[in-house]
Amino acid sequence: MSASLQNIKIAVDAVVFGYRENKLYVLLIQQKFGSQNTYWALPGGLVQEDESLLEAVKRELKEETNVSVNYLEQLYTFGDDISRDPRNRVISVAYFALVDPSKLTLIADTDADHVSWVEIDKIPNLAFDHDEIVNRAIKRLKNKLTYQPIGFDLLPNKFMFSDLENLYTTIIAKDIDRRNFRKKMMSFGFITETEEFADKKSGRPAKLYTFNVAEYKRLEKEGIHFEIKLV
């Protein structure tokens, strides 16, 4: 068949994870096209002729949810199922990101009727193959946490160390060796103890910590050996 007859569209989809109150969330939009029923889906859309994939996914996120993300990691390309989108033959390049929901204001716009943070264990059936995309993103995130010290984008600028521990146990869904975890994290030097304490209603006041992005990036270039010990 002649290449000139090819009519394949390229799209991008974004899996944006948020974390609050020891629960992991994903950002979803509710859409309605024509006479089709309203459904939940990942933010995303078709890539325009004059933009890169990364530019496209950032634009779609901003247009549909009002969310701006500095760093998105490419997850996977979905297109083996030629009928994944009943409207057209569409290949989608999926990205994922980690954000702190408290820093964001959600606004549904363009073709999104609603936008919401949804707990990962309460995600409804999603449009197209977006369930598969989310599941793959969750698996990638869990795997990365066990060998790379990430996840700080999910926390406030100042956090208790227990918040970081709970973040990891929530996402991995397993208990970690907290003593070993604390010792290893602090040894890298990109977590700084402040002189401030968290407002706790009961119990011993807990120190607050901050994440040194510059130091983390410096060490990341050199190569960080990180491994979580599970209980």
pLDDT at 201: 63
Cα–Cα separations (whole angstroms), residue 82 to 79, 89, 90, 203: 6, 6, 7, 57
- Gyration radius of the chain's alpha carbons: 20
Tens of pLDDT, residues 16-52: 999 998 999 999 999 765 555 678 999 999 999 999 9
Cα–Cα separations (whole angstroms), residue 116 to 108, 142, 219, 220: 9, 22, 35, 33
Q: Which amino acid is at 203?
A: G
Tell me if residue 218 falls in helix, strand or coil.
Answer: helix
Q: Output the average pLDDT for the chain.
A: 89
**Below-50 pLDDT ranges, the chain:** 1
pLDDT at 1: 47
Q: Could you tell me the domains of the chain?
A: 3-146 (3.90.79.10), 148-222 (1.10.10.10)
